[in-house]
């Protein structure tokens, strides 16, 4: 009986958190939608301190993905664009890639992000594998159906021996990474993100995240010193 109450309380915790997050995101969307759209939008470069990153920390170009584990387009971007970006620029030391959680899909977005933050904190070496596996677990059809649930998250994590299942379950129940989620929410608002995925290159957001030619052109321009 005590265990059941604990689970109910933990469910309420992240459900309430998701509601607060959603309200903040909606406000940000309304503000950003009133701004003029352009193929490339100049913003202040996002602070990626404490975020999951891939590549050299002193790389001259930083590419940030604002993504949502519940988002089908984010899954597609990760399968179509991300591997080429890593091959062309991250592996060469020219780009540092960072990922920031977005919560546009409510409770499931929050839960997926919470699980990923737990893995990043306790098993950082397994983070990117878990990240890709959680996206891969998205259903092929009926994307709106609820699928990011604690049991699904633990099932995905069970494929990686480096992930402590008990720790992950405890973090989910206690919403242990609230501070990290709040940081991501603030970064999303500051960047004026209105869609997922949103791709930012040295503080410049691309209108079409699937236009790899535009991504390459902007990265090459930044590598050349912005000329």
Per-residue tokens: 48: 């990626």
Query: What does each C-alpha distance from 85 to 88, 136, 223 come to in angstroms?
Result: 5, 19, 14
Per-residue tokens: 28: 């940000």
pLDDT digits (tens, 9 = 90+) for 83-123: 999 999 999 999 999 999 999 999 999 999 999 999 999 99
Torsion angle in degrees (nearest 10) through CA of 52, 55, 57, 59: -130
Per-residue tokens: 3: 């265990």
Domain that holds residue 110: 2-223
Nearest to 51 by CA among 135, 127, 137: 127
pLDDT digits (tens, 9 = 90+) for 31-55: 344 333 335 666 679 999 999 999 9
Compute φ and ψ for 196, nearest 5 degrees: -125, 140
What is the structure's pLDDT at 29? 43
* Unique residue bearing structure tokens 């949502």: 68
CA 196 to chain centre: 9
Quote the pTM value. 0.82
Q: Say if residue 145's pLDDT is above 80.
A: yes
Q: What is the CATH number of the domain that holds 186?
A: 3.40.30.10
What is the structure's pLDDT at 44? 77
Torsion angle in degrees (nearest 10) through CA of 23, 138, 207, 210: 170
Domain count, the chain: 1
């Amino acid at each position: 009986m005590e265990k059941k109450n604990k689970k109910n309380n933990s469910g309420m915790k992240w459900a309430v958190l998701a509601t607060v997050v959603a309200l903040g995101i909606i406000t940000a969307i309304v503000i950003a939608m009133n701004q003029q759209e352009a193929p490339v939008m100049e913003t202040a470069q996002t602070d990626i301190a404490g975020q999951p990153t891939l590549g050299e920390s002193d790389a001259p170009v930083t590419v940030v993905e604002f993504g949502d584990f519940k988002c089908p387009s984010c899954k597609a971007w990760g399968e179509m664009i991300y591997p080429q970006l890593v091959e062309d620029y991250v592996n060469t030391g020219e780009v540092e890639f960072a990922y920031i959680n977005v919560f546009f899909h409510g409770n499931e977005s929050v839960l997926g992000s919470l699980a990923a933050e737990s893995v990043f904190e306790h098993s950082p070496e397994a983070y990117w594998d878990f990240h890709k596996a959680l996206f891969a677990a998205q259903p092929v059809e009926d994307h709106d159906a609820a699928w990011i649930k604690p049991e699904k998250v633990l099932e995905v994590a069970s494929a990686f021996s480096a992930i402590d299942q008990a720790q992950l379950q405890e973090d989910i129940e206690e919403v242990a990474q609230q501070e990290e989620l709040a940081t991501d929410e603030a970064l999303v608002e500051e960047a004026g993100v209105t869609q997922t995925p949103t791709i930012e290159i040295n503080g410049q957001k691309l209108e079409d995240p699937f236009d790899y030619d535009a991504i390459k052109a902007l990265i090459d321009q930044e590598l050349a010193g912005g000329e």
